[in-house]
Amino acid sequence: MRFEQVKDVLNHVIAFHCDVACDYADMAAQTEDVRLKMLLAYLQEHVRSARKGLEGYIHGDAQPVLNTWLQNAPALEHPQLLDALRKDLDVASVDTVASVAEKIQETLGDMFRTLAAQADTDGVRELFSALAAFQAAEVRRLARDTARFNS
């Protein structure tokens, strides 16, 4: 998938977060496993919070960077990988859901690192580097927090 402007990337990730939050809510409604319900509620809130953070970029001071055209925009496989990971959520066990949630965060981080590495301007590079660092922190936090659901 090719993105044309920086805001296209963020809008795609925001939409993805909305879709995953709905997936988590649907799964929670269909399971009787109390631990899994709690995990799914936690993950749903987690992606909603991340979505709000990204929306802050869209509506914040980053407008000049968001309107930057991605010169030589890389053809990224990450969006397809993210969609495939969403399909992996069909197997509803605590371990599987936690593992897929971590892979989603890692894939987003890798996409942001790739975009930062290929950025043509400092502003775009800084934005995607900051998002990649945020995703790395989220992976660590998610791993720590989801481990509680396995006890």
Report pLDDT digits (tens) over 50-76: 999 899 888 887 778 999 988 766 567
Report pLDDT digits (tens) over 19-38: 999 989 988 888 888 999 99
- Three-state SS at 69: strand
* Candidate from 8-12, 28-32, 117-121, 146-150 with smallest mean pLDDT: 146-150
32 vs 132: CA distance, rounded Å: 35
The answer to whether 139 and 102 have CB atoms below 8 angstroms apart is: yes
5 vs 88: CA distance, rounded Å: 29
Main-chain phi, psi angles of 82, to 5 degrees? -65, -40
64 vs 62: CA distance, rounded Å: 6
Residue 1 pLDDT = 61
Task: Answer yes or no: is pLDDT of 96 > 90.
Answer: no
Please name the amino acid found at residue 121: T
Percent of the chain with pLDDT over 70: 90
Residue 48 pLDDT = 93
Q: What is the DSSP letter of 77?
A: S
Residue 62 pLDDT = 75
One-character DSSP codes across 84-102: HHHHHTTS--HHHHHHHHH
* Candidate from 41-45, 82-86, 89-93, 134-138 with smallest mean pLDDT: 89-93
